[in-house]
Amino acid sequence: MWQSISIAVPQLASKAGGVSTRAPLTTPKKVMASGMSEAEAISRAQQGDGQCFESLYSFHKRRVYSLCLRMTGNTAEAEDLTQEAFLQLYRKIITFRGESAFSTWLHRLSVNVVLMHLRKKGLPEVSLQEALEPAEEDGPKKDIGAHDQVLDGSIDRVNLERAIETLPPGYRIIFVLHDVEGYEHNEIAEMMGCSIGNSKSQLHKARMKLRDLLKASRAERAAAKR
């Protein structure tokens, strides 16, 4: 087993608004801090090389922590879940076959760790009742699964991150999975055990709440400047 090392708080690098932070299936050759390639580190870690596993941990820990923090909105839980994700990786890395990018495979494993944690806590991941309620929105009808141009154009990422943290768990998780991490609604529905329509409805409601929160934040800043 690798030595435990502290987890640094990551920079808020991912951009919300439908831009995927998951690595594409075809990526340039990655090089570890040790100088070996990621593929070589994976191969050696699968054979029980602890130092190579630590190299993979160091290379991916910030991104996994960032995912856990966004999904839970709690730094202590995010740290614990990051460690749990890498414990799962240690146990399951032998099953990695290279059919997708390693970062994509690790990302999915980490998402499952967080979702399992939330289920054990009994948090309402998805509210079926709210999903069935009609969305309140002025103006013409639009596809609630499409990108939100208002959120896409938000330049105040710090306020957006803070607003995301205040969302109810069900809204926050689906918003993070879709608009931040780039999962499709059919993937989210499979992970969450809900329908695609439910996922779209939760995303739409999350976006509406975020728009209201960001609008209120801008109004407060404008009033403070007067």
Q: Give residue-wise pLDDT tens across range 148-165.
A: 544 544 446 667 778 888
Could you give all domains of the chain from N- to C-terminal order, each with its CATH number?
A: 38-121 (1.10.1740.10), 128-225 (1.10.10.10)
- For the whole model, what pTM was predicted? 0.65
Position 86 scores a pLDDT of 97
Neighbouring C-alpha atoms within 13 Å toward the C-beta of 66: 17
Distance CA 41, CA 49 (A): 9
Position 156 scores a pLDDT of 62
Tens-level pLDDT at each residue, the chain (226 residues)? 434 333 322 333 333 344 344 544 334 456 666 678 999 999 999 999 999 999 999 999 999 999 999 888 889 999 999 999 999 999 999 999 988 899 989 999 999 999 999 888 775 544 434 433 433 333 333 444 455 544 544 446 667 778 888 888 888 889 999 988 888 999 888 888 888 998 899 899 999 988 888 888 777 777 777 7
Distance CA 164, CA 91 (A): 32
- CB-count burial class (<10 Å; 0-12, 13-18, 19+) for 98: exposed
